[in-house]
Amino acid sequence: MSSFYNRLMDSYNVQHTHSGVNGKRLAERSSALAETGWTDDGGCLRISFSQEELQAKKLVMQWMEEEGLSVRMDGAGNVYGRLEGKEDLPAVLSGSHLDSVPHGGHFDGPLGVLSALEVVSAWRDQGYQPRRPFEVVVFTDEEGARFNGGLTGSQAFVGNIDSEEEKNRVDYDGRPYEEVLKEVGLTPEGVANAKRDLDEVHAFIEVHIEQGKRLEKAELPVGVVTGIAGPTWLKVTFEGAAGHAGNTPMNDRWDALVAASDFVVQVKDFPPQVSDTGVATIGKLEVEPNGVNVIPGKVQLTVDIRDIKAEWKQEIVRLVKECAENVAEQHGIKVQLDEMMNVDPVEIPENMQQKAAEATREVLGGEPYLLPSGAGHDAMIVGRHVPVAMLFTQSKDGISHNPKEWSSLNDCVQTVHVLKRFVEKVCTE
């Protein structure tokens, strides 16, 4: 077995293997998947629409067939493994994605797919059949590293693909969209026509690593997601007057960088005034003329604002805009505000949160840990059309999109137990 498998198993508590859920089986499948796209630094290079992503999908499809599921791949490359229920009802779906960012980790995406598959394996071992059909799903191109986009599979699933717009895309090597898809047996038309009949879908549940430190600090293996934040990106441009650093006195300057600095310091204080889940980040800043001995005449920066409720996010946006205008006035310079992106957040339905919380209590005891998702996921796209829920698994040091990304097998298996109980509850509806 691989070193990845050995590391998973080294500290595994076999007492977590029960009720059909098998930690060794999960470790074996995780290890086998990790070998597709394995990099020299121990990370993962499994870019969307690559042979590595296709190989990983085929491996999962093989496991699905071994578990007795009916398996198909749609025109977008999304994979479905279906277990029929006792009754012919809309299905419960669970899964995630298998593509990675360049030099990413082995848990972001695959854990959600393998957790859903492990639920099926556990049911098979127990001789259990749910009331509703249950489907394990693998969505294509969640990360978007190939075409600087992302969430392609889930967008196709809900029928939100513009085929003409997609055809004009080129990848990071300048290769046309159609050419890249052809290499993995797909076509732009197939992607555009992959919409699922959403009347066939009762709910979608996604397991994902947290990509943060809250669960680790709380010393808990799994948490219940309360909502998925949607980002608003603001471009803020402060314009003053460039001048010579030596010959312009301090009381005769219109320094755009000083104004921008004042703004940056204040922005961090706005989200806590509105909610416990809002965030605001200034991650990009450009200074002109950007000379050592020149007073900055223009500064352009971006503010990434997120929250799990639209009204909360909009209030943070309002405070940020108001602050920019006040700062510009105080410093006697101009400011321009442009909204670059505005994605609505997705709230997890209360009844789905309650069932996830009940499952957590029954499996782990104690009160469930509730937390927001600050990152986007396939569940964010699907959740605009059908009820969704998410479970987060503890991430070591909060690291993600990095070869050091890690979640212990103990935490992963306990998450599967919660998922299994949760799905059983939803399937009885």
163-188: per-residue pLDDT in tens?
777 878 899 899 999 999 999 999 99
97 is in an annotated binding site: yes
User: Looking at residue 148, what is its pLDDT?
Assistant: 80
Which burial class, exposed, middle or buried, applies to 416 when counting CB atoms under 10 A from its CB (0-12, 13-18, 19+)?
buried
Helical packing angle, 310-331 and 256-267, nearest 10°: 150
Q: pLDDT band at residue 117, thresholds of 50, 70 and 90? A: very high
What are the structure tokens assigned to 47, written together? 């870019």
Q: What percent of the chain has pLDDT over 70?
A: 100
Q: pLDDT band at residue 361, thresholds of 50, 70 and 90? A: very high
Q: Is a pLDDT exceeding 50 seen at residue 13?
A: yes
Q: Is a pLDDT exceeding 90 seen at residue 230?
A: no
Q: Is a pLDDT exceeding 90 seen at residue 159?
A: yes
Q: Is a pLDDT exceeding 70 seen at residue 125?
A: yes
- pLDDT, averaged across the chain: 95
Q: pLDDT band at residue 343, thresholds of 50, 70 and 90? A: confident
User: Looking at residue 1, what is its pLDDT?
Assistant: 47
253-275: per-residue pLDDT in tens?
999 999 999 999 999 999 999 99
- Residue 336: closest CA among 232, 234, 233: 234
Residue 289: asked if its preceding bond is cis (omega within 30°), the reply is: yes
Q: What percent of the chain has pLDDT over 90?
A: 92
338 is in an annotated binding site: no
Please, what sign has the CA dihedral across residues 150, 153, 159, 165?
positive
In 36-141, where does DSSP find H-type helix?
51-66, 110-126
Q: Are strands 334-342 and 201-209 parallel, antiparallel or unpaired?
A: unpaired
> Can you tell me the mean pLDDT for 96-125?
96
Measured at the alpha carbon of residue 103, what is the angle toward residues 233 and 221, in degrees to the nearest 5? 80
Q: For 38, how many CA atoms within 13 A lie in the half-sphere containing its CB?
A: 12
CB-based contacts of 138: which residues, under 8 Å, 6+ apart? 57, 60, 78, 79, 95, 96, 97, 98, 113, 153
108 is in an annotated binding site: yes
User: Looking at residue 223, what is its pLDDT?
Assistant: 98
> Can you tell me the mean pLDDT for 44-49?
95
Q: For 72-86, 158-172, 324-338, which range has the lowest pLDDT when averaged over its residues? A: 158-172
Q: What does the longest C-alpha to C-alpha distance in the chain come to?
A: 84
> Can you tell me the mean pLDDT for 308-332?
97
373-390: per-residue pLDDT in tens?
988 899 999 999 999 999
CB atoms within 10 A of CB 226: 19
Pairwise pLDDT comparison (352 vs 2), residue with the higher score: 352
> Can you tell me the mean pLDDT for 65-93?
97
The answer, as to whether pTM is greater than 0.85, is yes
**Domains annotated on the chain, with CATH:** 3-228+345-427 (3.40.630.10), 230-342 (3.30.70.360)
Phi, psi of 301 (to 5 degrees): -140, 165
